[in-house]
A and B are shown apart, each in its own frame.
Chain A
Amino acid sequence: QLQLQESGPGLVEPSETLSLTCTVSGGSINNNRYYWGWIRQPPGKGLEWIGSIYYTGSTYYNPSLKSRLTKSIDTSKNQFSLELSSVTAGDTAVYYCARIMYVTMVRPSGIDVWGQGTTVTVSS
């Protein structure tokens, strides 16, 4: 059974760069039927799409975060990563990595597998 696990620091200082990695187990990330993505949820609020990446390295970002975002994928390690620069308190959230279905290969579909989430707090 496919599992995703986020890893990274729980505390980041303002203006620094947040780096998170998602490790995929029980299946290969090198698969043309899925995208891989990041979603976050500030405390007590709703879900916010961050971005997605395909196994080829193609990326799609939330426009509101695009200037601060870098995503990468390492198929040899079965991992994908997120870097968010110049963080502020507004970036405090639970960050989820996830798998997005692309079975039709026309447009993506639902997010069918989620990591358990990792809490990131931005504070000095």
Chain B
Amino acid sequence: DIQMTQSPSSQPASVGDRVTITCRASQSISNYLNWYQQKPGTAPKLLISAASTLQSGVPPRFSGSGSGTDFTLTISSLQPEDFATYYCQQSYSMVFTFGPGTKVDVK
């Protein structure tokens, strides 16, 4: 199985901060990397697919980059509604795997 790791596991931040979350795959996954946002009590929401393709309706302050094994999700200016947990997920293998999550909370 392809293992996914994320860092940090927790990211205290303030409104207006630039936030960067990294995700690493245990083997090359090309650009088959997706990012999700999850708020408590709700289903995850797809933010970015194929490492850098912003989904319709997702604010442009979110961006993704990377290829191979190393990927990054960046929030350019954190907004109050962005406090949430973020997960990466690989779809290179038909056995999908998620990263453990990064919780962005109030500093």
Chain A residues near B (Cβ < 8 Å): 37, 46-49, 52, 60-63, 96, 100-101, 107-112, 114-117
Contact between A110 and B95, CB atoms less than 8 A apart: no
Decide yes or no: A112 and B55 within 8 Å by CB, A49-B95, A52-B94, A117-B43 being known contacts: yes
Which of B1, B87, B91 is close to A46, meaning CB atoms less than 8 Å apart?
B87
Contact between A49 and B96, CB atoms less than 8 A apart: yes
Q: Check if B8 is an interface residue, CB within 8 A of chain A.
A: no
Contact between A46 and B100, CB atoms less than 8 A apart: yes
Contacts of A112 in B (CB 8 A): 46, 49, 55
Which of A47, A62, A96, A109 is close to B32, meaning CB atoms less than 8 Å apart?
A109
Decide yes or no: A60 and B98 within 8 Å by CB, A107-B32, A114-B44, A117-B43 being known contacts: no
The interface size of chain B toward A, counting residues with CB under 8 Å, comes to 26
In addition to A49-B89, A109-B32, A112-B46, 13 A-B residue pairs with Cβ atoms within 8 Å of each other are A46-B99, A46-B100, A46-B101, A47-B89, A49-B95, A49-B96, A108-B96, A110-B50, A111-B36, A111-B46, A111-B89, A114-B44, A117-B43
Contact between A48 and B95, CB atoms less than 8 A apart: no
* 21 pairs, A vs B, C-beta closer than 8 Å: A46-B87, A47-B101, A49-B97, A49-B98, A52-B94, A52-B96, A62-B95, A96-B44, A107-B92, A108-B94, A108-B96, A109-B34, A109-B50, A110-B89, A110-B91, A111-B34, A111-B36, A112-B46, A112-B49, A112-B55, A114-B44
Across the interface, name the chain B residue whose C-beta is closest to A97: B43
Contact between B100 and A101, CB atoms less than 8 A apart: no
Report the bound CA distance from A96 to B49 in whole Å: 19
Report the bound CA distance from A116 to B39 in whole Å: 12
